[in-house]
Amino acid sequence: MDRSQALVRAGEILWRAWQKRAVIDSLPPECRPVTRAEGYQVQSAIEGRSPAPLFGWKIAATSAAGQRHIQVSGPIAGRLLRERAHPSGSRLSLAGNRMAVAEPEFAFRMGRDIFPRQQAYSVDEVMAAIGDLHPSIEVPDSRFAVFTSAGEAQIIADNACAHEFVLGDPAPQVWRNAELSTHRVQGRVSGISRSYARDGSGAAVLGSPLVALVWLVNELSSLGITLQRDQVVTTGACTVPLEVEAGDQVIADFGALGAVSVSFSE
């Protein structure tokens, strides 16, 4: 088995675990990715198993705490599969989800393609390519039994812990004049026996959601990948992740930029 076949095999193993809500200890040594680039190749194999065009991208580990938690050296990108993307108000199952958290996030829908190139893209260039800003909630998970010690290459291969994604309505276009780094976000959890709220802001994701989006654009560019028109990029948790359980409803309130909700069953 050559190396490219081995990485496709790794993608098949992770895909099956994802579909069965199962976990594995690690990928077999003969097909385990050892670099970031190989991790992204495994992701590509996972995308190839999806029945629909790619919905978009996520950014994980956009804070120092998040990087320490999963032991990675910096932000990592993952693919959002279309069959795992849902509208606001959806009810999702937590069956088999060991992370059991919801993450309020700024998400951007692209207004035009951004093609790979040698020169890094600037904030102004990326801003000009954005179509809309959306409030969103990511519900991550991992296919590894102990994801905190799987290592960077395997976590990237595991689609950067992508699982389910909930997209709210587009924000009013006044967002373009807002300072997203200081924009307040509140995540509220209402459960059967408890309720709580956590506050955050855009500063939690590499200092600003726009900075995080530019990072993603340049990460994809370095991999020779086009960020396509209408694809959505969610930029990372802007509050401390919200612990959830069956019966909970989560509302991520972005103030003047809108709100998004999701509820959970077993």
**30 in any annotated domain:** no
Count up the domains in the chain and report the number: 1
**DSSP structure string for 60-121:** E--SHHHHHHHT-SS-EEEEE-GGGEEETTEEEE-TT-SS-EEEEEEEEEESS-B---SSPP
**156 in any annotated domain:** yes
**16 in any annotated domain:** no
The domain of 150 spans 52-265
Backbone angles phi, psi at 97, to 5 degrees: -85, 110
Q: CATH number of the domain at 169, please.
A: 3.90.850.10
**39 in any annotated domain:** no
Output the six-digit token pair for 20: 């069965």
**94 in any annotated domain:** yes
The two beta strands, 164-167 and 249-253, are unpaired
**205 in any annotated domain:** yes
Question: Identity (one letter) of the amino acid at 214?
Answer: V
Please compute Rg for the chain using Cα positions. 17
Residue 62's pLDDT is 86
Residue 255's pLDDT is 98
Best CA proximity match to 99, nearest among 63, 64, 138, 73: 138
Low-confidence spans in the chain with pLDDT less than 70: 1
Cα→Cα distances 22→19, 51, 94, 114, 129, Å: 8, 20, 13, 36, 38
**258 in any annotated domain:** yes
What's 209-234 look like in SS3? Answer: HHHHHHHHHHHHHHCCCCECCCCEEE
Cα dihedral 246/186/70/68 (nearest 10)? -140
**198 in any annotated domain:** yes
